[in-house]
Amino acid sequence: MTKEDRHALILEMLIKHNSIQVTDLSEKLNVSSVTIRKDLTELEKANKLYRNHGSAILINPYINNRNVNEKEKLATEEKRIIGHYAAQMITPADSILIASGTSMHALARNINQNNKLTVITASLQVSEILAQHENIDIIQLGGLLRHSSMSVVGDAAESILHNFSCSKLYLGVDGIDLDFGITTTNFMEATLNRVMMQTAQKTIVLADSTKFGRRGFSKIADMDDVDIIITDSHVSNSIAKRIEELGIELIIAK
């Protein structure tokens, strides 16, 4: 088998399994671990995979902070469908928390409640979207404004939450690593998100399928703290199975 053949098979296996161990590749391709490591180094330099602790994954798991306007252009249809499903879970006279991020904007655009609804949010854009509904009472959290996300963070936002109790929190994340947990790129946002989780009876994560297997800089919580994940139909069967094995309700929006 030529080096090019090995590289093609390695990428084919990664597409199927998302990640694979060096030892498994060595066994399947019948070459030494040293040869596999050299192959992975070449493929990583070509930006075709990412090496990580004795294994390889298809994409770099670490996410950089990006402006909200840039994020709005990513997975727009998936976010719209996820937002639609999430909005159906709101009940009459509900009191909910909505965090920040473009998935939260999609949720807000799908909320069309004829009944009374109370929303607490860190996102200025969520408040702006929901302000058109007279029957929705909006509590806009105050604090330090993050220009990249147009949302607030900090002690002022966190302290007021101790006075409330909500039925559910809708939470957007930058990454979901089923071993590490849910993450975001900003540590102050992660801290606020943790306080939000304590304020709500249920935590519902809205995440398109590109978020799986990725990590932001700051950990929000372990997977045990998540009650429901709503994602799109592109999520892999292996990830879906693991989520259900963790005891988390998975809703695949189609």
Q: How far apart are CA 55 and CA 24, in angstroms?
A: 9
Q: What is the pLDDT of residue 52?
A: 76
Note the Cα 209 to chain centre separation in Å: 8
Q: What is the pLDDT of residue 26?
A: 92
Do the beta carbons of residue 58 and residue 212 sit within 8 Å?
no
Q: What is the pLDDT of residue 64?
A: 62
Q: How far apart are CA 67 and CA 57, in angstroms?
A: 26
Q: Domains, the chain, ranges and CATH? A: 3-57 (1.10.10.10), 68-253 (3.40.50.1360)
Q: What is the pLDDT of residue 48?
A: 81
SS3 29: helix
Do the beta carbons of residue 170 and residue 96 sit within 8 Å?
yes
Q: What is the pLDDT of residue 67?
A: 65
| DSSP state letters, 36-68 | HHHHHHHHHHTTS-EE-SSEEESS--B-----H
Do the beta carbons of residue 139 and residue 98 sit within 8 Å?
no
201 CB neighbour count, 10 Å cutoff: 10
Q: What is the pLDDT of residue 233?
A: 94
Q: What is the pLDDT of residue 12?
A: 84
Local confidence pLDDT in tens for the 254 residues of the chain: 899 999 989 988 887 777 789 999 999 999 999 999 999 999 888 888 888 778 887 766 666 656 666 666 677 899 999 999 999 999 999 999 999 999 999 999 999 878 899 999 999 999 999 999 999 999 999 999 998 889 999 999 999 999 999 999 999 999 999 989 999 999 999 999 999 999 999 999 999 998 998 888 899 999 999 999 999 999 989 899 999 999 999 999 98
